[in-house]
Structure 1
Amino acid sequence: MNIKVLVATHKDYKMPEDETYLPIFVGNAIHTENNPGFQGDDDGENISLKNKNYNELTAIYWAWKNLDVDAIGLVHYRRYLVNKTKNGNGFSQILSTSDFESLLNNYDVILPKKRNYYIESNYSHYIHAHHKEPLELTKTIIVRDYPEYLEAYEKVMGSTSAHMFNMFVMKKIYFDQYSEWMFDILGKVEERLDISKYDTYEARVYGFISELLLDVWLEVNQPRLIEVPFKFMEKQNWLVKGGSFLKRKLF
C-alpha cells in the first residue's frame, strides 16, 4: 500500500526516518527562504499563499491536488500518532509503515483519540476561544448547501469531545471526498467573512473551523475508523494551558 503521511512544519526540525512520512513546509510561497529543503506546499495546484488563514490545511490541499497514492494523512512536526506498546519514547513510538498498513487493512480512517473538554461543548469552547461569527456562518452554509449534514453539525457542536489538530490518515477515496466537501464549505465562508480586523491568531480562522468539520463529515459518511494515541514531542505546560482554558470559560 502506498501511504503518505505529511508532517506539517514551518521550520527546520527533526523528522521521522520512515519513508511513509513526507515533511512539508507550509506557507512555502510566503517564506521560501526559511525552508531547509522540505517539500513545499506551493508545487502544482495549491493554496500556499493562504497559509496564514488556513494553517496546515494548505498541506492537506496540496496533497489532495497533487498526490496519487492509496492513503494520505497529516501529522505535525511536534505531534504524532503513536503505538504506545513499542519500547522507548518519542520518535521510537510513532506509527511506522507496517503499523499504517496493518490498520488500513481493517479500517478506512485512522484518527487521534478525541480531546475531551468535560465542562463545555465544542460550540461553547470555540466561541470562548475565537470569534463566534465564522462558526455561525459555517452553519448557515451547511443549512443552505449541505442540509443533510445539519443534524451531524448540531450533534458535534453539542458534544464535549472532538478529534482535533486536523490529524488523520485516510484511504484516498475518503480523503478526496472529505477534502472536496471541507474546502467547498471553507471557500464559501471565506467569500463572506471579513477578517480584516482579526489579529494574527484569529486570522487562522479556517484552520480552526476545519477541526470541527472533520467530525461532522465522519458522522454522516461513517467510514470504518479507529482511534490511536497521539503524542507531543515537546513538553507541554498543562498548568498554563488549563489556566487559559478556565480564563476563556469564565471571562
Structure 2
Amino acid sequence: MKILVASHKDTAMPKDKDLYLPILVGANKNYNGQVGFQLDNQGDNISDKNPNYNELTAIYWAWKNLKDVDVVGLVHYRRLFSKSHKRELSEVLTSSQIEQMLEKAPVILPRKRHYYIETNYSHYIHAHYQEPLDETKKIISEDYPEYLPAFNKVMKNTSAHMFNMFIMKKDYFDNYCEFLFGVLFKLEGKIDISNYSVQEARVFGYISELLMDVWIETNHIDYVECNWIQIGNRQLIKKIIVFVKRKFNSNIEKNETHF
C-alpha cells in the first residue's frame, strides 16, 4: 500500500514511511532541495500542469509510475484520513486500519461534504466560472454517455465526496484515472483559461472533485467513508464570509446580465 501525501513545500509528514509517500507537486517549479519527497516530474508525468491540475499531478504520477502496489491513496499535507478526531499527524490511518476498511469495500472516501441550501452545480458556479462545468457535461454526453445519468444526478445532489482524497485497490484506481484524465484532457481543448486568475486557473482540479461521485455512481462502486482531520488553522469564519460574498456577487452579476 502507498498513500501519497501531496504537498507543494517542505512540511511535516506522517512517520510511517512504508505506508505514506510524500510527493512534491509542481516539482518543476517548487523543488528547491526538499529531502524525502518523491518528485512529480519524474517518469511519465504532467508536473507542468500543476498550476491548473493541483494535486492531480500526483495522482497522474502514481497512475503511470507507481508499480508493484495493490492499494493507492492520496491525501494532502494538511488534510488526512484518521479514525480519530484529534488534529494531529500521529492520528493518521495505519496499515491495519486501512486493511480492515478495504475488507468491507474496495474504495475509501472522506465523509461527504454537505451544502444543504445549494446543489453541487449551484455551489460550483457561485464559486467558479460556469463554462468549464457546462463543457464537462458536453464532453461526458458526447464521449462518455454511460456517465451522463450519474453526472446529472451528482449535479442535483446537495452533497459530494470532495477534496480529491481516496484510498483504492489498484485496479479501481487505474479505472478511475482512465475516466478522470480522459475527461479533463478533452476539457483542456474546449476552454480558454488564459485570462483566468491564478485561483481560477486551478479549474481542472476543481472539476475533478465532482467527477469522483460520477465515477462511483456509474460503476456502482462499493465504498466506505472515513473521518478526516485538517492539520493547522481551518479558518472557518473566513471560509463562511467568502462563501456568502461569492453567492451575493453571483446574484448581482446575474441580475445585471438579466437587465
Q: TM-score range by the shorter chain?
A: over 0.9
> Which position in structure 2 is the counterpart of 1:28?
27
Task: Compute the RMSD of aligned alpha carbons.
Answer: 1.2
User: 2:107 matched to which residue of 1?
Assistant: 109
Aligned residues: 247
Which moves more between the two structures, 31-40 or 69-78? Answer: 31-40
Tell whether the 8 Å contact from 1:27 to 1:42 is kept in structure 2 after alignment.
Answer: yes
Mapping 1:140-155, distance limit 5 Å: 140-155=138-153
Q: Match for residue 84 of structure 1?
A: 84
- The residue identity in structure 2 corresponding to 1:47 is I
User: Could you say which residue in structure 2 is the equivalent of 1:71?
Assistant: 71
Describe the superposition over 1:65-95 as per-residue Cα deviations: whole angstroms up to 9, x where unpaired. 011210101000000011128xx65122211
Structure 2 unaligned regions, length at least 5? 250-259
Q: Is the 8 A contact 2:109 2:225 kept in 1?
A: yes
**Runs of 5+ consecutive residues of structure 1 not aligned to the other structure:** none
Question: Does residue 6 in structure 1 map to residue 4 in structure 2?
Answer: yes
Match runs of 1:155-234 below 5 Å: 155-234=153-232
Q: Which residue type is aligned with residue 100 of structure 2?
A: S
Which whole-Å CA distance do the structure 2 matches of 1:89 and 1:123 have between them? 31
Query: What's 2:120 paired with?
Result: 122
**C-alpha distance 42-177 of structure 1, shift in aligned 2 (>3 A):** same
Given the two structures, how large is their TM-score scaled by the length of structure 1? 0.95
Residue in 2 that maps onto 1:247: 245
Contact kept, 8 Å, 1:28 with 1:35, in 2: the verdict is: no
- Identity in percent: 55
Residues 11 and 36, structure 1, Cα contact 8 Å, conserved in 2? no
Q: Deviations over 1:199-229 (max 9, x none)?
A: 1001000000000000100001122200011
CA distance in 1, matches of 2:247, 2:134: 19
Give, in whole Å, the separation in 2 of the partners of 1:228 and 1:7.
Answer: 17
Contact 1:11/1:34, CA 8 A, preserved across alignment: no
- Could you tell me how far apart the structure 2 residues matched to 1:30 and 1:49 are? 8
Partner Cα distance (2:149, 2:246) in 1:
27
TM-score, normalising length: structure 2: 0.93
